[in-house]
Structure 1
């Protein structure tokens, strides 16, 4: 594998400075070109004990500055830092800089990347092997813990958002595929073809071992990913193969995934490939394919989520089952899904390929009359009959007991196969037991959407 080194480039066209002792020409100022209060500041002649307006330790005017007795104003030290290749030592990305991903940036085994609240990360343009992405390899760790007031933002280099802002002005939910996305890989179990214990994540060439995921440690800890907004991603990496906004490959339950927003991703919003990680408060808006996608025996719980379809979206949920003998059972609880009646695709959900698990307390509205929930092949139908695939507490605006469809298996010529399973009684009759029609605002299930008030989607009026 070709080795890359971490490169850090501070654009020389930017000036890093503080203004101290303003209007005091005999007192000078503070140079602060290296962004650290380390004793090399010059011209501090303010009558005894003038301290620079800001410490530059965090680069933010946040109230911890001392000695502001110079009559001047405090400005943060800011810069643009380009990152490429492997991160081979623990690193911290700070909110006073914009970090640019040049191609694939990999947090290697044994390395921790810490990203401070309010930090902006931008991905460069590129497709195929040149697609930009942040990859946390197995054994690596990301500590990205933003806050509702200062979320961490991943976006495109085309986005004119600047340090201290939560949104730019030149892109919207229709701008997608402008960079890659974020991939977190772990050592938890997955259900893979041939019952192998590890496989290569989609989108990463087989020769790049940092793309492996899977193992036997269901408690594996890949860090914390909280109050993070991922925007305008999903770059093409191969024919019909794009990067998801957030990809979770065999991530263990020791990892925290909470308050994550994905907006305008060309492919799926959040996709789970096996693993046991529990995820809460996920918001996906205007994805090109599916909102929440489950594969390879994912055995965690997704709690309190919101999926808002856009003009090119496909399903709110797409769920595939195990590929090997191991049967992981997913759980989706308390989720609101909002359709777009004008969307050509725009379906509620598609359960495929031996899907097994539980989908509970779903509130849905805004879908077109032809939208449906599909049980897409024989294995899924059998799991439904056997109680391995269950549903409860669906409340739908416009529900008429005909949205649930069983799709029988077909051969290459489109003919129904002989071994199809006919549900008895019919699936739609069974669905009536756990689905009911409601009027908008009268629902008793679904997500608590107030927890998403911090998001870009809320600011843009998506819900």
Structure 2
């Protein structure tokens, strides 16, 4: 079941990169006339409290066309906030979406979201450490990464992540890097995807960032889908005019069970997903 309720939204006063360089914006999923939906500011160390060992299930109700509620929405959340040991199950839209902010998060699990599992926007500049994504029959991307919308830059870190694909979903991509994305991905393990799934540089801006070192990849280990023989073929540059060199050299083909990177799953044994999905953590 999906869309049985809304979701959890946490809004803070940490920096975000907005179009027009405005200081605050209204979060998606909250009516535009509700001032409780504002987020963003100048306090990188902003404290929105402690969120630990939370299971968010069957959310994502829409309040209007294009006004989506993610399982967990983090808007302008600062480093003073503690977020760890979180799972999101069967959300209509994204699993967890970061709108700017600086918060560091760890031990995440997203299972069977409708859109993207982990979504980064507006120059989020924190660290996501130790995360597992399990795509469902209707899931889109495991990772969707966008960059700044204004002149404020920010660079994310995404590390120690396991991506488990699904061959039934019509979409089911590994990752889409878009819109001037800036950051680092490392120690990523992926398996179970379709042969036409890819890790994509979406446009000229993000391809330029890759060439200039503002977007980097290291230690991606992938179990090749049937029909794919070269790991570099999974890394695709779809920029309109910018060519890249070496994209895909960061990937290594492995067989399932021989990986040396990815998430440590023992800390996620408490989750509903582990039990209901027989994940074996």
Name the TM tier (shorter chain): over 0.9
* Aligned with residue 20 of structure 2, among 194, 197, 204: 194
Which stretch shifts more, 238-247 or 388-397? 238-247
Secondary structure of 1:347's match? coil
Which stretch shifts more, 449-458 or 392-401? 392-401
Normalising by structure 1, we get a TM-score of 0.58
* Aligned with residue 407 of structure 1, among 227, 238, 242: 238
Matches within 5 A, 1:370-381: 370-381=196-207
Matches within 5 A, 1:88-99: none
Indicate yes or no: 2:272 matched with 1:456: yes
Higher relative contact order (CA 8 A, sep 6+): 2
User: Aligned-pair distance for 1:278?
Assistant: 0.2
Unaligned segments of structure 2, at least 5 residues? none
Cα distance between partner residues in 2 of 1:386 and 1:294:
20
User: Aligned-pair distance for 1:341?
Assistant: 1.2
Post-superposition Cα deviations, 1:74-100, rounded to whole Å, max 9, x if no partner, equal xxxxxxxxxxxxxxxxxxxxxxxxxxx
Indicate yes or no: 2:256 matched with 1:430: no
Cα distance between partner residues in 1 of 2:173 and 2:113:
13
User: Aligned-pair distance for 1:344?
Assistant: 0.9
Check whether the contact 1:308–1:462 (CA below 8 A) recurs between aligned residues. Answer: no
Unaligned segments of structure 1, at least 5 residues? 1-174, 410-419
How many residues were matched structurally?
Answer: 274
Check whether the contact 1:190–1:296 (CA below 8 A) recurs between aligned residues. Answer: yes
Cα root mean square deviation, aligned: 1.0
User: Aligned-pair distance for 1:462?
Assistant: 4.6
Specify the structure having the higher radius of gyration (Cα).
1
Indicate yes or no: 2:162 matched with 1:301: no
* Aligned with residue 440 of structure 1, among 252, 256, 269: 256
Matches within 5 A, 1:47-446: 175-398=1-224, 400=230, 401-409=232-240, 420-423=241-244, 425=245, 429-432=246-249, 434-446=250-262
Post-superposition Cα deviations, 1:208-246, rounded to whole Å, max 9, x if no partner, equal 111000000000000000000000000012223320000
Cα distance between partner residues in 1 of 2:141 and 2:185:
15
Normalising by structure 2, we get a TM-score of 0.96
Which runs of at least 4 in structure 1 moved beyond 3 Å after TM superposition? none
